[in-house]
């Protein structure tokens, strides 16, 4: 019984999260219905094949957008890695040039 208040609070927190997720789903559905109404010019039932096609297209577009963002991030990381390697190679080249010039100076003496 000592742990009961904690269990109740955990339960209520879980309920809040579930309610928030449900509200997000409802708002997404309403937004899609609004977009369908704008596209078709009239209210369209959710189970209409035209509505389902519209939803499928939107999901495909969202998936393509995610792929594009992921690809751009990967490309940016690659470019940053290449630049870092080029900088490191340039520094090593300069260091070797300094070592060679020092050896030449000591051998001439």
Within 13 Å and on the Cβ side, how many CA atoms surround 92?
6
How many structural domains comprise the chain? 1
In a domain, 109, yes or no: no
In a domain, 83, yes or no: no
Residue span of the structural domain in which 33 resides: 1-44
In a domain, 82, yes or no: no
What is d(CA 46, CA 20) in angstroms, rounded to the nearest whole number?
22
Contact 91, 83 (CB under 8 A): no
* H and E: helices and strands count for the chain: 2, 0
In a domain, 49, yes or no: no
pLDDT tens across the length of the chain (109 residues): 889 999 999 999 999 999 999 999 999 999 999 999 999 899 999 899 999 999 999 999 999 999 999 999 999 999 999 999 999 999 998 888 887 777 666 666 5
In a domain, 11, yes or no: yes
């Amino acid at each position: 019984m000592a742990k009961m208040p904690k269990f109740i609070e955990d339960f209520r927190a879980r309920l809040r999260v579930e309610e928030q997720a449900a509200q997000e789903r409802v708002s997404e559905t309403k937004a899609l219905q609004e977009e369908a109404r704008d596209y078709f010019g009239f209210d369209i039932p959710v189970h209409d094949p035209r509505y389902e096609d519209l939803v499928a297209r939107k999901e495909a577009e969202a998936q393509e957008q995610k792929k594009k963002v992921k690809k751009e991030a990967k490309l940016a990381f690659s470019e940053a890695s290449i630049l870092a390697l080029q900088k490191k190679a340039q520094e090593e080249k300069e260091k070797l040039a300094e070592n060679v010039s020092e050896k030449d100076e000591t051998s001439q003496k």
